Amino acid sequence: MIAVIGQSVIDRVRLPDGSEVERLGGSPVFAAAALQFARRRGVILTKGATTELRAPLAAFGLPVAIGEATASFVSELEIFGDGDRRHEIAAFGEPFRPDEVTGWMAPHLEAVGAVVCGAQWRDDFPAATLRALAARDRTVLLDAQGPSRPPRLGAVIDEGPLDPAWVDGVTVLKCSEIEAAALFGDGDPGRSGVPVVVVTHGLHGAIVHLPDGAHEVPGVPVRGLADAIGAGDTFMTLMAVALVDGADPVAAATAAAHGTSALLRRRLEQSS
C-alpha cells in the first residue's frame, strides 16, 4: 500500500484568462487522483488548510488522516500556459515531525510499503522524520522541491547544493530540471548517495540516475494544457505504485511517465 504525506496547501491562483481562484493544492489531492487512476489502495496523511478546502480529498474514496496544525502553507501562482507559471510562497505550514510518524500516523503506516513525501520547502520533512518513515524497510520517495527551497517567503528560487542530511533515508529523489541544476550543479546525481534520482523533463520524459549510470525515459507529450500543476506529484505517486509492484526504477519511471500523461490528457479534455 502507498502512503502520501504532504501539506494541504492553500493555492491562490491567477489563471491564463485572468480569473482568480482559491483551491486545494499540495501533494495529497494530486496523489489521491493518481491512486484512484491506478485503482490502488492508499492512505493520505496531511495537515493544514481548512476542512472546507480539504473537502475534495473525500471524493477519491481513500482514507484521509488529518494532523493538528496551527499554520498552513500558502502558495500564490500565476499560470501562463503550457506549464509556465510564476510562483511565490506566502506562508509556511508546520513541518512533519518524527513524533508524528510514531504517533498519529503510525496506525496508518502499518501495511505501507512506500511513502510519497510531497515536500513544499526544505524544513517540511526534517532528516529525523525521513529516517522514521524509512523504518520497516519502507521505500521513501521525496519531492526535491522541498530540499531545493530554503525557508524564505516570496518568489520561489531553487538553491543548493544538496546536503546529504536533507535526504537521509530517501530511496527516490524526484527533481525537475531546475531543481536538479540547483542541487547537483555539474555533479552526477547518480553519485549523490541517493539510490535513485529521477530528473523529469516535462514533455520530454525523464532521466533516471542510478549508481551504474543514467537511463532515459521517453516522454508522452500532452500539448495545449495550460495548468500542469501537480504533474510531479502524479509522477512520483505512480512511480511508487510501480515500485511496490516490483518494477525496477527505470521501468517504474516509465510507467509513471505514461500514467502522468494519461491523467494530464484527461485534464485537458475536461477543460476543453
Mean pLDDT of the chain: 90
Q: What tens digit of pLDDT does each residue of 116-161 get?
A: 999 999 999 999 999 999 999 999 999 999 999 999 999 999 999 9
Question: Which SS3 state, helix, strand or coil, does residue 89 take?
Answer: strand
Q: Which H, E and C letters describe 179-209, residue by residue?
A: HHHHHHCCCCHHHCCCCEEEEECHHHCEEEE
Res 266 pLDDT > 90: no
Q: What tens digit of pLDDT does each residue of 85-125 get?
A: 788 999 999 999 999 999 999 999 999 999 999 999 999 99
Give me the percent of the chain exceeding a pLDDT of 70.
Answer: 92
Fold adopted by 2-271: UDP-N-acetylmuramoyl-L-alanine:D-glutamate ligase (3.40.1190)
Taking the C-alpha atoms of residue 26 and residue 8, their distance in angstroms, rounded to an integer, is 5
Q: For the sheet containing 9-14, what is the strand order?
A: 20-25, 9-14, 74-81, 84-91, 154-155
Q: What is the pLDDT of residue 224?
A: 52
Taking the C-alpha atoms of residue 157 and residue 159, their distance in angstroms, rounded to an integer, is 6
Give mean pLDDT, residues 260-267: 77
Q: What is the pLDDT of residue 87?
A: 85
Res 221 pLDDT > 80: no
Q: Which residues of 226-254 are buried (b: 16+ CB within 10 A; e: fewer)?
A: bbbbbbbbbbbbbbbbbbbeebebbbbbb
Beta-bridge partners for 207: 199, 216
- Which of 35-39, 104-108, 224-228 has the highest average model confidence (pLDDT)? 104-108
Q: Which of 12-16, 29-33, 68-72 has the lowest mean pLDDT?
A: 12-16
pLDDT band at 229 (very low <50, low <70, confident <90, very high): low
User: What residue ranges do the domains of the chain occupy?
Assistant: 2-271
Q: What is the pLDDT of residue 228?
A: 60
Give me the percent of the chain exceeding a pLDDT of 90.
Answer: 75
Res 226 pLDDT > 50: no
Question: Which SS3 state, helix, strand or coil, does residue 242 take?
Answer: helix
Question: What are φ and ψ of residue 3, in 5° steps?
Answer: -110, 135
Give mean pLDDT, residues 184-208: 90
Res 268 pLDDT > 80: no
Residue 246 gets the label, from left (phi > 0), alpha (psi -120 to 50) or beta, of: left
